[in-house]
Structure 1
């Protein structure tokens, strides 16, 4: 008999670990190490490479608004790509035209004159188009563009110039000039910054990366009045908040009914998982970009347009706007009662859950929730973000609330 016990064999790496190792050697490190390698999704569930199931309460950061593999989106994409996939913008398609018409009706329900749409591939690209519209409006006489502190509008050079966070901006400076940041929600600061040399103001009605923080009551109305008086455009970034996320087609419809911005940008939930963005403009702003002044090879392609039309139709036919409001309000009230939660911000199914200092960093809480089968994220050290599919079941929302209660109780007691 051996005097020494056998050395146990090293356990084989999990499939997640194997794939993540390959990721590290193949993909640029722009996102850090991925938490899991996801291989399948159905409805509000996803599964990782090791077969573990999760309830997806982030929906690809507000993208998969109908969940994963929704039959309407799958059918629309399958039919379209089997008929006509890519054609470039030397041509157009019925899907592109029909979607543009539908978006002007959704964004501007009062049907302002001359509404037009530029279809892109992402929210960043939609905001890049809005930036160029602002430049065309302003010319050399109006070199200034106003944005809000804590704003996030994307990571291309133009959209990044509109984004406030220094850590995102500084490695890539000099950025396109003329952008100035003013305190979010401060009407007096806006009034003081506006003048005849300002081309545009861009705002998010709910600042997502700032921790899901809505602009205060009355701010959007004041922004519309003041920009109009100064001859500046009002651009509303609805990339994360639009397409029903708050219980209205556009968050500004909910927060400031009746105002008409000059440009609205969309993406994320618009395609239900397919990459698509849009800049929807009205009045003078709709005519500022002429042939050759902007473009995209893939923007408005028939497949993405067909997916977006399926999303719009499904939200309508299934009455999801009312469902979003009902579930969102009930869930927010339940979450506010959880010990360790300081407040719940947002609207509909876009919610920021504020955490007490005693429970520790939100990223660690998100990690603990993921280990228990729930996907959320932490845009701020004290905030969890919830942006689930619109088809989320009451039972799954309640299960998350119970699990969050357990996690926060354990962390407070530790």
Structure 2
């Protein structure tokens, strides 16, 4: 887990400066990031723009599905714009309760709790499972939300080699008798590879450790009825497994979820700061996600299309000279020579009507820059083929 990158503040932004110079300190850091090719830019998009989207995470194309939109509109009319409070005050509606019931059944766990974001769900799950006496073992390629959850927990943190059951076994053997939580993603967010969850769980189970799996990029895409990577590995409902996920990817909405045993849910409701003190997700979004979940469970045709498109993308990129590995789900990583080249490549694609992800440090765990392509079953076939041509033709 990288602690800093060029131009990132370590500590206070006014360290070493008078209080009146804090803006100058920020400006120096901004210039350092620009020199390293790490400047980031907000690009607002218009509704219904014609860009072919291989950058967003709407894997099943459900964000604009008529049933999803109508469910959201109905809840908007019924409840108004926002939840108006935290889950424990006035923010829990019948839509929230129904979604939690459906998520628990789909994921195969006794209980599910909905959060306003996947980031907050990960922070809440780690802080509930770990404390000062806990050893957290975190995969080297984990998402920033998992890294921040580990750092904020007060627990001892050890970074494990990526997706390596043998290395995990060695780490656990080196800490006998410790309370241990192993933290991993299922499909990793940058490279799109799938952790060997069954093998990793065999190791954690043998050593009496818990396993926390962020299933964000597998939910809706892998497993029976799209129930995710944990379900695909046969671990649904395992008493020593906790699952988190976001509702903003294959389900096309927003929010997060923690799924696990009933005592964990009770603990989160009573003590979880990211649950207790955060305003609940809007009922309209929750209702829309509920409709998307019902569609996703019977969307085997869309999942099959994603597989077909993943194969086609890998073949096209290989023909263009790129060593892109076959994806486990719908995330593909394409290496770029450096951050500036990645930026230019993404910009050229955008100028030709194709949106692609551009990942640079610190978002990349290995410090290398790449394009990240995220497939979408809702894109028309001719647009998808054109997008692949554009990506190949714009390559540096």
TM-score range, shorter chain: 0.7 to 0.9
Which moved further from structure 2: 312-321 or 340-349? Answer: 312-321
1:309 maps to which residue?
A: 290
| TM-aligned CA deviation for residue 103 of structure 1 | 0.8
| TM-aligned CA deviation for residue 349 of structure 1 | 2.2
Inter-partner Cα distance in structure 1 for 2:299 and 2:192: 26
Note the 1:44-123 alignment, pairs <5 A.
46=49, 53-59=50-56, 62-63=57-58, 65-66=60-61, 69-85=64-80, 86=83, 88=85, 89=87, 90-91=89-90, 92-108=92-108, 112=109, 115-123=110-118
2:148 maps to which residue?
A: 160
| TM-aligned CA deviation for residue 369 of structure 1 | 1.0
Inter-partner Cα distance in structure 2 for 1:160 and 1:78: 35
Q: Does 1:361 align with 2:334?
A: no
Inter-partner Cα distance in structure 1 for 2:270 and 2:42: 44
SS at match of 2:221: coil
321 and 37 in structure 1: CA distance in 2 versus 1, 3 angstrom threshold: closer
Q: Does 1:144 align with 2:132?
A: no
Inter-partner Cα distance in structure 2 for 1:266 and 1:373: 30
| TM-aligned CA deviation for residue 119 of structure 1 | 1.2
**1:170-228 superposed Cα distances (whole Å, 9 cap, x missing partner):** xxxx884422211112222211222321331110122223x33333xxx3222212222
- Work out which of the residue numbers 37, 41, 49 in structure 1 matches 2:44: 37
**Cα contact 1:328–1:348 (8 A) shared by 2:** no
133 and 282 in structure 1: CA distance in 2 versus 1, 3 angstrom threshold: same
| TM-aligned CA deviation for residue 35 of structure 1 | 5.7
Segments of 5+ residues of structure 1 without an aligned counterpart are 1-28, 47-52, 164-173
| TM-aligned CA deviation for residue 266 of structure 1 | 1.1
SS at match of 1:222: helix
Kindly indicate whether structure 1 or structure 2 has the higher relative contact order, using CA contacts under 8 Å at least 6 residues apart.
Answer: 2
SS at match of 1:162: helix
RMSD value, Cα: 3.2
Q: Does 1:243 align with 2:238?
A: no
2:9 maps to which residue?
A: none
- Work out which of the residue numbers 265, 269, 273 in structure 1 matches 2:248: 269
Number of residues paired by the alignment?
Answer: 341
**Cα contact 2:138–2:159 (8 A) shared by 1:** yes
1:370 maps to which residue?
A: 350
Segments of 5+ residues of structure 2 without an aligned counterpart are 1-29, 361-367
2:331 maps to which residue?
A: 350
| TM-aligned CA deviation for residue 80 of structure 1 | 0.2
**TM-score, length of structure 1 as denominator length:** 0.72
SS at match of 2:114: strand
Q: Does 1:399 align with 2:378?
A: no
1:338 maps to which residue?
A: 319
| TM-aligned CA deviation for residue 96 of structure 1 | 1.3
**Cα contact 1:345–1:351 (8 A) shared by 2:** yes
**Cα contact 1:237–1:266 (8 A) shared by 2:** yes
**Cα contact 1:331–1:397 (8 A) shared by 2:** no
206 and 304 in structure 1: CA distance in 2 versus 1, 3 angstrom threshold: same
- Work out which of the residue numbers 202, 208, 215 in structure 1 matches 2:189: 208
